[in-house]
Amino acid sequence: MNKPVSPVKVLVVDDQPLIVEELCEFLEGSGYRCVPCQSSVQAITRFADDERIGLVVCDLHMPERDGIELVRALKVIAAQQQRPFEAIMLTGRADKQDVIKALREGFADYYQKPVDLTELLEGLQRQEAVLQERQKSFQHLGHLNEKLQDLAASIDDLYQDLGKARTLAAGIPEGDELEEVPVIFGKLSPRQLAVARLVGKGQTNYQIGCELGITENTVKLYVSQVLRLTHMHNRTQLALALSPSNSAVRQRVTAH
The pLDDT tens digits of the residues spanning 192-250 come to 888 888 988 888 999 988 888 888 888 888 888 889 888 888 888 888 887 655 544 44
Three-state DSSP at 95 gives: coil
Mean local confidence (pLDDT), 91-110: 85
Q: Residue ranges of the domains in the chain?
A: 9-141, 170-254
Among the residue ranges 35-44, 138-147, 184-193, the one predicted with the least confidence is: 138-147
Given this model, what pLDDT does residue 236 score? Answer: 86
Quick one: what percent of the chain has pLDDT higher than 70?
76
Q: What pLDDT is attached to residue 17? A: 95
Distance CA 224, CA 99 (A): 83
The pairing of strands 33-37 and 9-13 is: parallel
Return phi, psi of residue 47, to 5°. Answer: -65, -45
* More confidently predicted of 175 and 129: 129
Q: Does residue 106 have a pLDDT over 80? A: yes
CA distance 185 to 176: 14
**Identity (one letter) of the amino acid at 254?**
T
Cis bond upstream, residue 84 (ω within 30): no
What pLDDT sits at residue 167? 56
Coil, strand or helix at 186: helix
Give the pLDDT score at 71.
95
| Model confidence, pTM | 0.55
Q: Looking at residue 92, what is its pLDDT? A: 84
Confidence of residue 96 (pLDDT cuts 50, 70, 90): confident
* Superfamily name and number for 9-141: Response regulator (3.40.50.2300)
pLDDT score at 191: 86
What is the pLDDT at residue 116? 94
The answer to whether 191 and 171 are in contact (CB under 8 A) is: yes
Cα 57 from Cα 89, distance rounded (Å): 6
Give residues with Cβ within 8 angstroms of 112, minimum separation 6: 90, 91, 92, 94
Q: Where are the alpha helices (DSSP H) in the chain?
A: 17-29, 40-49, 67-81, 96-105, 117-170, 190-200, 205-212, 216-230, 235-242, 247-254
CATH 1.20.58.220 fits 170-254, yes or no: no
Average pLDDT, the chain: 82
Residue 9 has pLDDT above 60, yes or no: yes
> Are the C-beta atoms of 42 and 17 separated by less than 8 Å?
no
Give mean pLDDT, residues 77-102: 88
What pLDDT, on a 0 to 100 scale, did the predictor assign at position 36? 98
pLDDT of 78: 95
Virtual torsion, Cα 234, 240, 243, 249, nearest 10 deg:
-160
Query: What's the pLDDT score for residue 178?
Result: 44
Going by pLDDT thresholds of 50, 70 and 90, the confidence category of residue 256 is: very low
